[in-house]
Chain A
Amino acid sequence: MTTPAPPRLDDSSLPVRVRGLLKRYGDRNVVDGIDLDVVHGETVGLLGPNGAGKTTTLEMIQGLTTPTAGSVRVLGLEQPRDREAVAARIGVALQETSLPDKLTALETITLFRSFYARGPDEATLLRDMHLEAHASTLVRALSGGERQRLALACALAGDPELVILDEPTTGLDPEARHRLWDRIEALADKGTTVLLTTHFMDEATRLCDRIVVIDRGRIIAEGAPETLVTAHVGSHVVELEITRGALSVEDAQAIVSVRVARLVGRTLRLGTDHADDVLARARELASTKEITLGRVAITPATLEDVFLVLAGRGLGEGEPR
């Protein structure tokens, strides 16, 4: 989708303003025409499967990669030309950050703090990330979650106006993910602008004010999490496992109140705002067509369903090659 953003008076100083962004590697457009605005104080999530072009987009915003075409402005500065000036005002945590593993947490933070003219002191950074107890622990002895919080502390060392997080919780266990989410939410509550990528819909739903769904280098949907879900799927999803016989997607689509129907393996997923009605009609249809239903469930619709509807495959299924 390339709907131009509504004009804003302070467009030029937006945390992120990207127009017509394109990156070609070989004969493939990894990023294929992206327009993106991030306003002050907003938490925006780029959601998409692995290989969708999220990380490349972030690299161009950070000034690490030069776009094939299009323009990137960060905090009113032009990337990659103003890379150094931008670097002083943003904080970054990369995917699977590897900090020097023979330094302690405190030494690592002191190192990163030394690069910035201003910012919180080391003790504050450690405390804000709940790492006080690990100040003198070597990085290699930290758990995955602690390491990611340390990476976040390093990202905040220069008191950044914009924080960029690439897949912040990939590889973490559920408890560690929740602790990191708490920290990111605390950041957003203080008014810091956050741009993150994720392929976890629960992460996107919980953290983001606005979600930009990316697939194959293009934006395929954009909006607040609930809006996206209700706009593309409906409030609920009716799941019907078919153990005998066949019910086509077209037949299911024809059921009154069904907004979208998808077949995933042997399970039909029907998006709707009237789940009970849909379930009752589906049972009638099954009995007339001599179809046996296995497990039946009604669940709230999620971003996973949005992606399934828009891209025709699940978030975890990656980029077809």
Chain B
Amino acid sequence: MMRHPLVQLLLVRLRTFQREPEALFWTFGFPLVLTLVLGIAFRPVEGEPIPIVVIEGPDADEITARLERDEDLAIRRATDASEARRLFIRGGALAIVEGSTERPVLHTDPTRPESRLAHARVERALIDAPLAIEDAPMREPGTRYVDFVVPGLVGMNVMTVCLWGIGWNVVESRSKKLLRRLAVTPMKRRHYLGAFLLAHVLLVLVTLAVVLGFAWASFGVGVEGRAIDYVVIVLLGCLAFSAMGVLLASRTDNVEVLSGMVNAASLLQLVASGVFFSTSRFPEWALVVLRGLPLTALVDALRAIALEGRGLTQLPVEVAVLTAWTILAGAIGVRIFRWS
């Protein structure tokens, strides 16, 4: 068993990885740091006051008194318009109020959602008899940004681990003539590529456990659907990106050429596949194209399982896209693969 060439080739991959501390960090540490940073930056804000500036004038006291009836507004006074403007620019104010109680002037930035919110709150407070509305906040897991972004990060990680891990090692082995050396042994070529695939399946499963465990422990991010469906989709993604890695690494012996190709492939998908932000801003025709990208399929499927609790059978398009990439990229990559 241990002497089987596939096992030995797998050991080469795992030992090479384990003896490279930087690779360990970038594979396991980086997604954690990213989850943490994004989780904190986009954490749900509760009760954070909306800063409002009132410019000094005859009615300033009355205006301030009315605004203070809304506990979510934090009022500051500014001696003149230029001071108020300075506060606004630096983020210390979302709205500026001046003028009289009869004809108040309200400065807000209509392109910023939070400034528009401030406009509405100020308007309501300045009217003498505000409506009594009962607040029913939505705060349960599943609706927050961190819940949205974790499946994206998992997908991104599958992509980078497979593209870089396979691409870099294959091209480096080719440039150092190790591939050529292996090609004059009776080693089965499917064992060589199979070992890469197995090694990356293991790596991806470990990073999946680490990232999901971390996201669950720190932010309570969970998976609504079945865990096994989530894992199956991750494995399908791993196959698709491994095939793509073999394809990108199939000809060149120059690591810089490879870097360019991997960067192009992965950055394009990072932007277009909705890892960090919803793709709903793209026009309809573009979405049709984007749904064909493996990262889109992977991330969409993971979100459907994690956030909406859907099952594998309800995701035929995503499964088909990932399978098609595996077969096409893999077949072409193996066919044109250069050993020397």
The size class of the interface chain B forms with chain A is 20 to 34
Q: Which of the 9-residue segments B13-21, B45-53, B213-221, B282-290 touches chain A? A: B13-21
Tell me the bound Cα distance from A113 to B185 in angstroms. Answer: 10
Instruction: Decide if B267 is an interface residue (CB 8 Å cutoff).
Output: no
Give B23-75 interface residues, CB cut-off 8 Å to A: none
Instruction: Decide if A96 is an interface residue (CB 8 Å cutoff).
Output: yes
Tell me the bound Cα distance from A92 to B178 in angstroms. Answer: 12
Tell me the bound Cα distance from A112 to B8 in angstroms. Answer: 9
**Docked-complex contact A90 and B8, CB < 8 angstroms:** no
Instruction: Decide if B187 is an interface residue (CB 8 Å cutoff).
Output: yes
Residue-wise, chain A 68-109 has the 8 Å CB interface mask toward B (1 for contact) of 000000000000000010011010101011111011000100
**Docked-complex contact A92 and B181, CB < 8 angstroms:** yes
Tell me the bound Cα distance from A65 to B184 in angstroms. Answer: 11
Give B187-245 interface residues, CB cut-off 8 Å to A: 187
Q: Which residue of A lies closest to B13 (CB)?
A: A100
**Docked-complex contact B11 and A107, CB < 8 angstroms:** yes
Knowing A64-B340, A114-B4, the reply to whether A102 touches B15 (Cβ < 8 A) is yes
Chain B residues with Cβ under 8 A from A64's Cβ? Answer: 180, 183-184, 339-340
Chain A residues with Cβ under 8 A from B173's Cβ? Answer: 100
**Docked-complex contact B8 and A84, CB < 8 angstroms:** no
**Docked-complex contact A111 and B20, CB < 8 angstroms:** no
Instruction: Decide if B139 is an interface residue (CB 8 Å cutoff).
Output: no
**Docked-complex contact B15 and A97, CB < 8 angstroms:** no
Q: Which residue of B lies closest to A89 (CB)?
A: B186
Q: How far is the CB of A137 from chain B (nearest CB, A)?
A: 13
Q: How far is the CB of B339 from chain A (nearest CB, A)?
A: 7
**Docked-complex contact A110 and B20, CB < 8 angstroms:** no
Tell me the bound Cα distance from A111 to B20 in angstroms. Answer: 19
Chain B residues with Cβ under 8 A from A113's Cβ? Answer: 3
Q: Which residue of B lies closest to A140 (CB)?
A: B19
Instruction: Decide if B86 is an interface residue (CB 8 Å cutoff).
Output: no
25 A-B residue pairs with Cβ-Cβ distance under 8 Å, sorted by A, are: A59-B340, A62-B184, A64-B339, A64-B340, A87-B184, A87-B185, A92-B181, A92-B184, A94-B181, A94-B184, A99-B181, A100-B12, A102-B19, A103-B12, A103-B15, A107-B12, A110-B3, A111-B9, A113-B3, A114-B5, A114-B7, A115-B185, A115-B186, A154-B181, A158-B186
Choose among A64, A96, A158 the residue with the greatest number of B CB atoms under 10 Å from its CB. A64
Choose among B176, B183, B184 the residue with the greatest number of A CB atoms under 10 Å from its CB. B184
**Docked-complex contact A114 and B177, CB < 8 angstroms:** no
Instruction: Decide if A63 is an interface residue (CB 8 Å cutoff).
Output: yes
Chain A residues with Cβ under 8 A from B9's Cβ? Answer: 111
Tell me the bound Cα distance from A201 to B12 in angstroms. Answer: 38
**Docked-complex contact A97 and B177, CB < 8 angstroms:** yes
Knowing A94-B181, A114-B4, the reply to whether A84 touches B186 (Cβ < 8 A) is yes
Q: How far is the CB of B16 from chain A (nearest CB, A)?
A: 5
Q: How far is the CB of B135 from chain A (nearest CB, A)?
A: 59
Chain A residues with Cβ under 8 A from B184's Cβ? Answer: 62-64, 87, 90, 92, 94
Interface of A with B (CB < 8 Å)? 59, 62-65, 84, 87-88, 90, 92, 94, 96-100, 102-103, 107, 110-116, 138, 154, 158
Q: How far is the CB of B203 from chain A (nearest CB, A)?
A: 16
Q: Which residue of A lies closest to B339 (CB)?
A: A64
Tell me the bound Cα distance from A64 to B338 in angstroms. Answer: 11
Knowing A114-B5, A115-B185, the reply to whether A94 touches B180 (Cβ < 8 A) is yes
Q: How far is the CB of B41 from chain A (nearest CB, A)?
A: 37
Q: How far is the CB of B24 from chain A (nearest CB, A)?
A: 13
Chain A residues with Cβ under 8 A from B180's Cβ? Answer: 64, 94
Q: How far is the CB of B176 from chain A (nearest CB, A)?
A: 4
**Docked-complex contact A116 and B186, CB < 8 angstroms:** yes
Chain B residues with Cβ under 8 A from A107's Cβ? Answer: 11-12, 15
Chain B residues with Cβ under 8 A from A100's Cβ? Answer: 12, 16, 173, 178
**Docked-complex contact A94 and B16, CB < 8 angstroms:** no
Tell me the bound Cα distance from A96 to B177 in angstroms. Answer: 9
**Docked-complex contact B177 and A111, CB < 8 angstroms:** no
Tell me the bound Cα distance from A209 to B340 in angstroms. Answer: 31
**Docked-complex contact A88 and B15, CB < 8 angstroms:** no
Tell me the bound Cα distance from A88 to B186 in angstroms. Answer: 5
Choose among B3, B12, B16, B339 the residue with the greatest number of A CB atoms under 10 Å from its CB. B12
Chain A residues with Cβ under 8 A from B186's Cβ? Answer: 84, 87-88, 115-116, 158
Extra A-B contacts (20), CB below 8 Å, given A64-B184, A98-B178, A102-B20: A59-B340, A62-B184, A64-B183, A87-B184, A88-B186, A92-B185, A94-B177, A96-B177, A100-B173, A100-B178, A102-B19, A103-B12, A103-B15, A107-B11, A107-B12, A111-B11, A111-B12, A114-B5, A114-B7, A138-B19
